[in-house]
Each structure stands twice: as structure tokens, then as C-alpha cells.
Structure 1
Amino acid sequence: MPEFTPLFMDQLHDLFRWRRDVRHFRRDPVPEPVLDELLRVACLAPSVGLSEPWRFVRVDDPRRRDAVRQDFTRCNADALSDRTGADALRYARLKLAGLDDAPHHIAVLSHPEPAQGRGLGRGTMPQTTTWSTVMAIHTFWLAATAVGVGVGWVSIIDPERVRAILDVDPTLELVAYLCVGYPAEVASTPELERRGWERRAPERREWIRR
């Protein structure tokens, strides 16, 4: 077990603080060796029963990317129509995806019943395969931040439609659609906080005791 120095711990805390949901990207691509290394690091994530249920899909086809962009536009319009008054105005001013500028689109899917792991740990909590995939996404995200690469999670999409657009195994669950690239701007606070949408709750940093 390596010994982690106080300097390393300070830098690790900085990494957590500077990991942001990026929506403003430069258009220059991330070098292929860097993307490959991020995938290798993501696969170091823990998974239930060592099942490694995640599947990372590079979406390079312009037609598929455009179809996903259209689905986001449709879903975003529906979400806006559900809001009224000042709340609708605040929502309309938010930039909620970097689909136009991000040089890389990556879909992350999860196998709900992978043969690998032989079902260990999933009998009473089958959702743990999805949670394992989220762990891989977070690991990818932190590794990307460490090398100056931004990641944005696009959740305002219809997962079934996007899965059909990607023409992937229908048994796979779409967990995330990520925009990846070098950020056009960086900040240590969430954009939603900077734009006045929401703020962190200090009480979340306290233990709930029972």
C-alpha cells in the first residue's frame, strides 16, 4: 500500500473541488492516447461482484450525434414547458449541454445482468450494476479533470430513444451521455451555483445519526 503524503491529499481535495460539469468546450479534440488512458483508468472503478457491467461507446457518427442533439432539444423544450413564471425564465437562461462544441460524445451503458461476477451481491439489490457503472463514470470524470479534460453529463434526453439512435444491444441500460473535451472556461464552483440556480447545502456535510 503506498503512503499518500499530505501534499498529495491537498491536491486530491483540489481535484474534487475543480471537477465540474462542463458545458462550454473548445472544439480541438483530445488526443487518442489520452482518451484511451481515461478509459483504462475508468475500468479501475469498483463493481459489484467484480462484474464490470459498464460499456463505454464513442459516438463519432455525425448523424447519430445530430439525432441525440435533436432529442435533447425536444426533451429540454418539454422540461421548460413544465415550468412557469420566474422559474421558467431562470431555466431558459441555463446552458444545460455542450453537445454543439464538445469534440467527443461518449455514451455509457450498463449490463443489468452480466455473466461476469456470477451474480454476487445482486440478489437483494440488483441496481448495484447501475451504481457500479456510475462509479466508473465518476472515476473517468476525476481522471479527466486531472489532465485538464472536461466532462459534461447530459441527462435531459430520452434514454430509450438515444439507445435506439446508437443501435446498441437493447438489453443494455443507458446510464449517461457524456460530452468530453477541453473546457473553454474553468471554475471551482458549479455553474448552476454561479448562475443563481441553486447552492450547496452546508447541512449535507453533517452526519445523520440513528
Structure 2
Amino acid sequence: MLNQSNSEAFGEAEAFSAEERAALYKAIYTRRDVRDEFLPRPVPDDVLKRLLDAAHHAPSVGFMQPWNFIVIRDESRRAHIHSLFTKANEEAAAMFAPDRQALYRSLKLEGIRKAPVNLCITCDRTRGGKVVLGRTHNPQMDLYSTVCAVQNLLLAARAEGIGVGWVSIVHDDALQQALSIPSHVAIVAYLCLGYIDQHYLKPELEVKGWRSRLPLDDLIFEEQWQEPREPK
């Protein structure tokens, strides 16, 4: 509330301790996308609730909080969504050059069925009404806000020892129908969650030769846009 006293509205703005900073950066630098290395161990409800609460505390434009979280555990529903993924994955493989298709198909993407929890994070594009503070000139800000919720969840999951895989190779309209999502609600992320016993020291796609991390210095411009160096 705007008329709150300072004691009610503000907390201390001190920096994190060295240990707290190290923990935060560890979560950032060691987070990995998990494709199929999930253990059958269930994710306890209290752990899942902490992850969702972390996501729910993401920043959002106009404090509109446009996200919803669809938790999917049912095996038959996950099998159906996996079939949607398989169809889209074959379409995707055909888009790459022949010399890349074998490597693409070697990347295991079985998290939908192996992970004990699937999670669909959506953005309700009508939440907050027609005019939302901060979205008046950029209507995509609700989607960007929801991506912040996804990132919060990814980092919290890393801290909890939970692996997360982001499934993007699926047609949104098919997924929308499978989960009875109304047309005014956009799908932002379909995630697979579960415990893992190990994770890659570097991103799996880098380890397997798909692509390397770009040098940070090549991506930083001063004052205005500059022509970036061609990625290797």
C-alpha cells in the first residue's frame, strides 16, 4: 500500500554475505537442462511447493502475476504428451542438414515419461485487464514476466537437487488441447522435474559437440549496437 509506514514497507538492502553470494552463483553456473537422466524417486509435495513458490515470487510487470502452473503426474497423460513430442521431434530432425541429423537424433529426450513430475507454466494474457501498468507500450511484457518465473524455478530446483528439462519441441496447439488450456492463455514452458544422481559439468549440448558457449566479451556493446563477431 502506498500509505504504509517505512517500517512496514521497507527492509534492509544490505548485500549478501560471501557464502550467500557463492550459493547463488553456484546455482546459476551449475544449472543444467536435464534430458533423460531422471531417477524414479518421487518429488515430495513440500519440495514441489517450494519450487512453485519461488516461481510465484518472480518479478512481473504491473505486479500482474500472469502465470499458472499445471502439475502433471498421470502416466497416461504424460504418455500422450510424449507422443506429441515424438511427432514434433521427427519434424525437427528433418529440418537440420543431413550431417547434423544423426547427432540430433542421438540426443536423448525422454524426460516427459521418465520424470515423475511434468509442469506446464502458462501466461494468462487477460490477467490485470486491458490496461496494465508497464505493459501499455509493450504487450509482450506479460510473457517476459512469466519467463522470469520459469528462471526462478530453475534456480530453486538446482538448489534443491532437482533436475529440470525444458521441452520446447511440441506444437503449442496440440499441447493446449491436451491440457484443456483456453485460447487466451499462452504456454510459456513445459518442464520435466525429478531427482538426478549426477549432472553435466558443462551444458550437454556443449559436451556432445552441438554448440559452444559464446565469449561474453563478444556480446557486450558500449553505448549503441555494434556488428557482432560471427559465431564460430
**TM-score (norm. length: structure 1):** 0.94
Which residue, 9, 18, 24 being the options, matches 2:21?
9
Give the whole-Å Cα distance in 1 for the aligned partners of 2:196 and 2:149: 21
* Count of residues paired in the alignment: 210
Moved more, 162-171 or 102-111: 162-171
- Cα RMSD after superposing both structures: 1.7
Task: Say if 2:85 and 2:170, in contact at 8 Å, map to a contact too.
Answer: yes
Q: Which residue is equivalent to 2:70? A: 57
Percent identity among equivalent residues?
36
Q: Which residue is equivalent to 1:190? A: 203
Give the whole-Å Cα distance in 1 for the aligned partners of 2:38 and 2:219: 35
Moved more, 89-98 or 119-128: 89-98
What secondary structure is seen at the aligned counterpart in 2 of 1:99? helix
Moved more, 53-62 or 40-49: 53-62
| Pairing 1:159–2:190 present | no
| Pairing 1:103–2:121 present | no
Task: Say if 1:29 and 1:181, in contact at 8 Å, map to a contact too.
Answer: yes
Which residue, 13, 34, 42 being the options, matches 2:47?
34
Task: Say if 1:113 and 1:119, in contact at 8 Å, map to a contact too.
Answer: no
Which residue, 79, 98, 104 being the options, matches 1:66?
79
Moved more, 92-101 or 14-23: 92-101
**Greater Rg by CA:** 2
Q: What is the CA distance between 1:108 and its match in structure 2?
A: 0.5
Moved more, 13-22 or 184-193: 184-193
Give the whole-Å Cα distance in 2 for the aligned partners of 1:16 and 1:205: 21
1:198-209 aligned at under 5 Å gives the runs 198-203=211-216, 206-209=219-222
**TM-score (norm. length: structure 2):** 0.85
Q: Which amino acid aligns with 1:134?
A: V
Q: What is the CA distance between 1:3 and its match in structure 2?
A: 3.5
Q: Which amino acid aligns with 2:183?
A: P
The unaligned stretches of length 5 or more in structure 2 are 1-12, 225-232
Q: Which amino acid aligns with 1:108?
A: I
The unaligned stretches of length 5 or more in structure 1 are none
Give the whole-Å Cα distance in 2 for the aligned partners of 1:141 and 1:99: 17
Q: Which has the higher contact order (CA 8 A, sep 6+)?
A: 1
Task: Say if 1:49 and 1:117, in contact at 8 Å, map to a contact too.
Answer: no
Q: What is the CA distance between 1:194 and its match in structure 2?
A: 0.6
Give the whole-Å Cα distance in 1 for the aligned partners of 2:184 and 2:219: 39
Give the whole-Å Cα distance in 2 for the aligned partners of 1:17 and 1:187: 11
Q: What is the CA distance between 1:118 and its match in structure 2?
A: 5.1
What secondary structure is seen at the aligned counterpart in 2 of 1:25? coil
Moved more, 28-37 or 61-70: 61-70
Q: What is the CA distance between 1:2 and its match in structure 2?
A: 4.2
Task: Say if 2:78 and 2:113, in contact at 8 Å, map to a contact too.
Answer: no
| 1:78-123 alpha-carbon deviations (Å, 9 max, x no partner) | 0111223211111111123411210000001101121279511111
